[in-house]
Structure formats: structure tokens, C-alpha cells
A = this chain, B = another copy of it.
Amino acid sequence: MEKSYYLDNASATRLDEAVLEAMMPYFFKTYSVATSEFGYSSGVEARDAMEEARGKLAAFMGADQKEFIFTSGSTESSNLALKGVAKALGEKKGKHLIVSKIEDFPVLYSARTLEKEGFTVDYLDVDEDGFVNLDTLRELITDETILVSIQHGNQEIGTIQDIKAIATLCHEKGVLFHTDATHTFARVPLDVSEIPVDLVTVSAHTIHGPKGIGGLYIRNKTHIAKIMDGGFQEFDLRGGMDNIPGAVGFAKAIELVTPEENLHLKEMRDKIIELVFEKIPHVKLNGHPTKRTPQNANISFSYVEGESVTLHLDMYGIAVSTGSACFSRSLEASHVIMRIGGDHERAHGSIRMTIGRFNTIDEIIFVVETLTKVVAALREFSSLGKE
């Protein structure tokens, strides 16, 4: 294939060359174990690099350096947030949690696991744009509630929740609040000194950083227990060999994101939506039109299967996603689109385009032109389109 146009859910996982460059010294030169600080200077250098990376990431979100731990990625971060709080507070305070119905799998399935272990979970409905209702949330919180987990931006439809209002409500009620910010970190502002959130899941792989590294912001004095046993790394909250290149790469990835870039992503996102609505009939935008992550466009095309669209686009070298983030492999309908009032047809006809740093407006135009042809051809042959 001569040229590829990546607008799939991996667009943002293309590593930035500058990130790799920042990681290089920690592959080949300063590769000591950061926690072996006694005894030799290379260990101290390694630890300093790790702590500098931690400090940059913490500062970026308005946190203190001691409030940010590295994990293997956002999946582990969310597992730790939910299960770690459950472990720390389950016996002490109560066994009730609240999550939204459109959370990504790490939160959703951690909640289900906790249910099997004797916890009670309320799954909060969302409206047609994907927003949770604050009054409903308020009613669900009881004295037994230990944690509310509602994502910042949705993984599929991009809708950005009003986490300031949610965090404030939880704070008033004395309940811990976790948000999965995997798809918003560095793209949508989140300052923990302004928003009383207690736990924030973040990842490097969504901002052209390395895979295999993520983080969890944990507000000072939050009750949480370790779930990965081993050494005493990460303030004794996560065992495992320090991934110094990963940590340094993550910090570099954050540095490379600029407000201008986020604005540019948003322009490309809006261009996709505008052109699709102009050129293709019978389409529906999934998620809120403006309160959405700058990199996400998710559109349902009536009378076609998303799988067929992606297969045909692939012949033109274009990669887009259908179904849910990490689970296109299953032909199950997206739980997110079903929950915002969609039916199976709308879920199966949905195409998600994720825009990254390496996409251009020209690509966007080519992709929509091709999409227009592909959808028209598929509708022509599809029995779904016939009246």
C-alpha cells in the first residue's frame, strides 16, 4: 500500500519521534534501577529522571509530585482506582459504588468484578448525548457509597462530562470521585487544583507517547490500597520494575501537546462532521456536537454496516474504527451507542474517526470524499437501503 490514512482508534498511538529521542538515554545509558538509590550514581540519575518525569506530569494537571503514580496503562490505573478504593474502604465505610453505563471496559468490568465480591454498583443512565444526570447521581449516593467513577471524555462518542459539577457534588457528599481521563488528558483541560476530583486515570498511548505506560493521579490522603503486589515502588502503591524510558517518554509526550494543536484537531474534527453532513444523507452524529473531545468524530450511517464501510475504506488505504474501542473484533453492538438511545442498526452503522497529530486537513478531505463514494455504493447494493 502506497500511503495510509490512519483515522482509527490507534491514530494517537503513533509514537512521536521526539518522544523516542527523549527515551533513548534511558534505553542505553542510564538504565539502572531507580529504586536502588543507595550506592551508585547511575541509580540516582535513573531515579532523578523518573522523578522529573513524575513532576512534569503531576504539574501538568495541577497536582503535587507525590500525587502521581506510574502504572502499565489506563486499564491498570482504573483497576487500581476502583479495586484499590474498594479494598481500602469496603470494610471501613461501605460497599456501594456508582459508575456510568458508558464507561470504558476497565471501569465497567472492575465494577462488575466488585459486584461479584459483595459490593453493590449502581450504573448511571446517560441522555442521548451521553451525559449523566446530576440529580439522579445525587439521589443514588448513600452513606454506604465509597466511590463514584464517571469518565471525563467518552472513548467512542467523545462526549465530555461536566466533571467539575460531578466532583463538587461528590465532594459535598464526602464520596471519593474517580474519572477516567484516558481520552482527554492533555486534550481537554483538567486541573485537580480547581476540580475536587480524587483519582484520575491517564495514559501515554493517547497522546503519541509510548505504549505500556500510564498513570493515576491520587489526591493526597485518599484511602486506597495496592492491588499489584511486589516491590515498594510508586510510594508503595504499585510493585514492578520502574519503566524509566516509559515514564520519560510519557512526560515528553505531554510537553509536545500544545493548545494550538488541540485547536487544530478540533478544526479537523469539525471539518469531518461538516463535510459528511453536507455530502452524505441519512447520517447521525453520535455524542454532543461541541462538548466533545477535539480528536473524535463518530457518525452513524443508516442502511450500511460499519464493518463493510471500514473494509471498503481499507482498499483506499484508510483506517477508521467501528464498534467499541478495543473490541471491534467482536461483532457485538457498541454498549455506548445502545445507551445513548441507539438501536442495533445505528450501532452497527457507526464509524469512529480519531484524529491525531499526524493527520492533515487534506487527508480529512480525501477521507470524506472516499467515504461518500463508499457509503453511496454500499447503499446502492444494500437491501437495507431499499424501500
List chain A positions with a Cβ less than 8 A from chain B: 1, 4, 6, 8-10, 13-15, 17, 20, 27-28, 31-33, 35-43, 46, 72-76, 78-79, 104-106, 109-110, 112-113, 203, 205, 210-213, 228-233, 239-246, 306-307, 310-311, 313-314, 318-323, 325-331
Contact = CB atoms under 8 A, between A and B. Distances in A.
Contacts of A245: 15, 210-211
Most B-side CB within 10 Å, residue of A105, A229, A245, A307: A229
Contacts of A32: 6, 8, 10, 319
B322 A38 contact: yes
A342 to B, nearest CB: 19
B10 A31 contact: yes
A27 to B, nearest CB: 4
A326 B35 contact: yes
A326 B233 contact: yes
A229 B109 contact: yes
A42 B106 contact: no
Contacts of A213: 212
B205 A327 contact: no
Contacts of A330: 232
A387 to B, nearest CB: 28
A73 B228 CA distance: 11
Contacts of A326: 33, 35-36, 230-233, 239, 241
Most B-side CB within 10 Å, residue of A8, A72, A79, A109: A72
Nearest to A242: B211
Nearest to A9: B33
Given A17-B28, A36-B321, A212-B246, 7 more contacts: A32-B319, A33-B328, A39-B313, A41-B314, A104-B230, A109-B239, A205-B241
Contacts of A331: 38
Given A20-B27, A37-B329, A239-B109, A42 B4 contact: yes
Contacts of A310: 38-40
A323 B40 CA distance: 13
Given A27-B15, A211-B244, A328 B37 contact: yes
B8 A314 contact: no
A105 B232 CA distance: 9
Nearest to A311: B39
A38 B330 CA distance: 9
B37 A14 contact: no
B72 A212 contact: yes
A227 B263 CA distance: 39
B9 A240 contact: no
Nearest to A206: B241
A36 B329 contact: yes
30 contacts: A8-B43, A14-B27, A15-B31, A17-B28, A32-B319, A36-B321, A37-B328, A38-B323, A38-B328, A40-B313, A40-B318, A40-B319, A42-B319, A43-B319, A74-B241, A75-B229, A75-B231, A76-B240, A105-B239, A106-B239, A112-B229, A203-B241, A211-B241, A211-B244, A211-B245, A211-B246, A212-B243, A230-B326, A231-B326, A239-B326
